[in-house]
């Protein structure tokens, strides 16, 4: 449904643009086509990479990873995993919620490290998105890509650790 609305809006804007100025609309479409040429093969790769990750069913193995006494190491591991995953929101939050449940022991919620590790998965997944780095290098150049990925990673881990401190013992 949302896609129909988005496509309808795009269509309406396109018609408005056509009415206003035909030449500029053609230019706009050719710019869109150039971006498409650049992105379609890369999007295909990302799609397959996500398939690879889903194929290995990260839910169960990640929860197992969290429960095996890793200590503080769990945070960087989850951060790196999250950075590579690039899962969409409807996939990542149910996954994180199931991990939150799996790590909660009866009575007390998960500890500081558990919360921070799950938060690291969520924040790195939405902010770093290492999976799309071939696209980012093609479109934004390698210098900007490096700068942004490193800064986003630092930011994501900082947020995750602070969440662990604030929310320890949290139940979903």
Partner 1 sequence: MDTTPEKRLMKGLLQPKVIAVFALATISLTLSLIFRTQGKKNARELISLAEQLVLIMPAILIFIGLFAEWAGADFIEKYLGDSAGIKGLLASFAFPLLIPIPLFMALPIGNIIFNKKARLAFVYSFFGAMAFSIVSLLFEAQFMGTLWMATRLALSVPIVILLCFLAEWWYNRARFGKPIPEAPSTAKST
Question: Interaction with partner 1 in 104-123: which residues (CB under 8 A)?
Answer: 119, 122-123
For partner 1, the closer CB: 73 or 172:
172
Assess 67 for contact with partner 1 (CB under 8 A).
Answer: no
70 binds partner 1 (CB under 8 A): no
Residue 9 found at the interface with partner 1 (CB under 8 A):
yes
Instruction: Report the largest interatomic distance among the alpha carbons of the chain, rounded to a whole angstrom.
Output: 67
Within 10 angstroms of residue 151's Cβ, the number of other Cβ atoms is 12
Answer for the pair 163, 78: CB distance below 8 angstroms, yes or no: no
Q: Is residue 73 near partner 1 by the rule CB under 8 A?
A: no
Terminal-to-terminal C-alpha distance of the chain:
29
Residue 49 or 70: which CB sits closer to partner 1? Answer: 49
Nearest approach, Cβ of residue 125 and partner 1 (Å): 9
24 binds partner 1 (CB under 8 A): yes
Q: Could you give the angle at which helices 22-55 and 2-20 cross, rounded to 10 degrees?
A: 160
Token digits of residue 76:
């960087």
User: Shortest distance, CB of residue 63 to partner 1, whole angstroms?
Assistant: 14
How far apart are alpha carbons 162 and 73 in whole angstroms?
Answer: 16
- What is the smallest separation between the CB atom of 55 and partner 1, expressed in angstroms? 3
């Amino acid at each position: 449904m949302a896609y129909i609305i988005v496509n309808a809006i795009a269509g309406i804007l396109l018609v408005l643009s056509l009415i206003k100025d035909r030449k500029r609309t053609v230019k706009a479409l050719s710019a869109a086509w150039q971006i498409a040429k650049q992105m379609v093969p890369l999007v295909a790769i990302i799609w397959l990479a996500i398939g690879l990750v889903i194929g290995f069913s990260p839910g169960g193995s990640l929860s197992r990873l969290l429960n095996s006494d890793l200590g503080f190491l769990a945070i960087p591991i989850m951060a790196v995993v999250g950075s590579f995953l690039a899962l969409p929101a409807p996939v990542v939050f149910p996954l994180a919620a199931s991990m939150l449940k799996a790590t909660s022991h009866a009575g007390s919620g998960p500890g500081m490290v558990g919360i921070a590790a799950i938060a690291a998965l969520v924040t790195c997944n939405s902010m770093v998105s290492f999976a799309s780095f071939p696209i980012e290098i093609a479109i934004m150049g390698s210098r900007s890509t490096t700068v942004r990925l490193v800064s986003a990673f630092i930011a994501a881990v900082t947020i995750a650790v602070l969440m662990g401190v604030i929310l320890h013992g949290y139940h979903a």
